[in-house]
Amino acid sequence: MRQVERAIFDLRRGLPVVITGRAGWMLARAVETGEDDAQGELQKLAGSRPALLLARPRLVALGLGERLGKAEAGSLALPSALPRRRLAELAFGLGADEGESDLVVPGALTPAGFAERAALNMARRALLVPAVLSARVAHARLEAVREAVAEGELLAVPEGPAAECLNGARGRVRRVSEARVPLAEAAGARFVLFREPDGLREHVAVVIGSPGQMTEPVPVRLHSACLTGDLFGSLRCDCGEQLRNAVAELDSLGGGVLLYLAQEGRGIGLANKLRAYALQDTGLDTMDADHVLGFGEDERHYGVAVDMLSALGVRQAMVLTNNPDKLRALAAGGVEIAGRQALYGSLNDHNHRYLSAKAERAGHWLDEVLDTRSSRD
């Protein structure tokens, strides 16, 4: 996996990487971080014309869902070099404020193969838009590319481990450091930092009281980081209020664990969350905005949360959540779910559509808080 981790960093830096597999060698380069002539450079290096790899949600947004069939991703032929702005429009809707209907798809669409899907997964893991330029290495260029790999000019990764990079490395999360951090809502809090093995993510367990000495079930809250809401008090969501309410509630219950997970924007990262906000301002809801960028409705994985709870000695939990996916993920990871407690923020004119979409489309248990709006209308 070490090579895959290095390759993810290279994609973030705008460099091409090699993905090897049964179908041969393929060069991949993220559209978001590529240079102006990324397409031409990739063609010269691979000896074949690049294609544009896009995830299913983005292709559906472009009106290509029926042509894709049931495939998770597609490879869009690029008949000639396109300006970078044009590539960006096709890839993740930088021109979305002008309307996606203005985009003309340039070439044939075929279902993406295993190596192509692996490249898109690596882009997601890098918190980039899942849009990748790919080119199969032609026989005439194979020796030159192999030499570049041998000399360290290019990184080569097998398609299997690359495809699995989103799943993380269960059981390998490291407990790195900890300290007492008194909080306004819980003066006895202690922060414990965990780091994922690839070094890309760090997560914090806010331990209130002594959960290891508590009679189980231990009150637990899984909170995905939200810079805009947690730190700046954004009215577009209820995250900041939920965070503070959760800490206060855990303290009032005599202790518990809040896992502060590096999963900004339901796992798509801050840059993409801000892109999604811009799309929401055109009338899309939070789910559809993520789809336009090529993401699913929720890109989070909770294996790291299971590992953190295990490291803290929590085997049975009473979970503070409105999200059924969190309960399912913890249970699937071996945590015994003893119960659930709702946790609400305040409803306002700015977050009503966001909360309604989560309730109606993702099944979040928010009827009680949404009913307060109905009773006022």
Q: Which residues are catalytic?
A: 298, 300
Q: Which of 163, 156, 160, 159 is nearest to 6 (CA)?
A: 156
End-to-end CA distance of the chain: 54
Torsion of CA 194, 198, 199, 205, to 10 degrees: -20
Q: What phi and psi, each to the nearest 5 degrees, are found at residue 182?
A: -60, 130
Q: Could you tell me which residues come within 8 angstroms of residue 138 by beta carbon, excluding any fewer than 6 positions away?
A: 46, 47, 48
Question: Tokens standing for 241?
Answer: 């209020």
CB 31 within 8 A of CB 52: yes
Other C-beta atoms closer than 10 Å to the C-beta of 202 total: 16
Between CA 307 and CA 302 the distance in angstroms is: 9
Between CA 13 and CA 32 the distance in angstroms is: 10
Between CA 314 and CA 127 the distance in angstroms is: 30
Greatest CA span in the chain, whole angstroms? 70
DSSP assignment letter at 98: G
Between CA 138 and CA 361 the distance in angstroms is: 45
DSSP codes of every residue in 145-179: HHHHHHTTSS-EEEHHHHHTGGG--TT--EEEEEE
Q: What phi and psi, each to the nearest 5 degrees, are found at residue 111?
A: -60, 140
CB 294 within 8 A of CB 92: yes
The three-class DSSP label of residue 313 is: coil
CB 56 within 8 A of CB 66: no
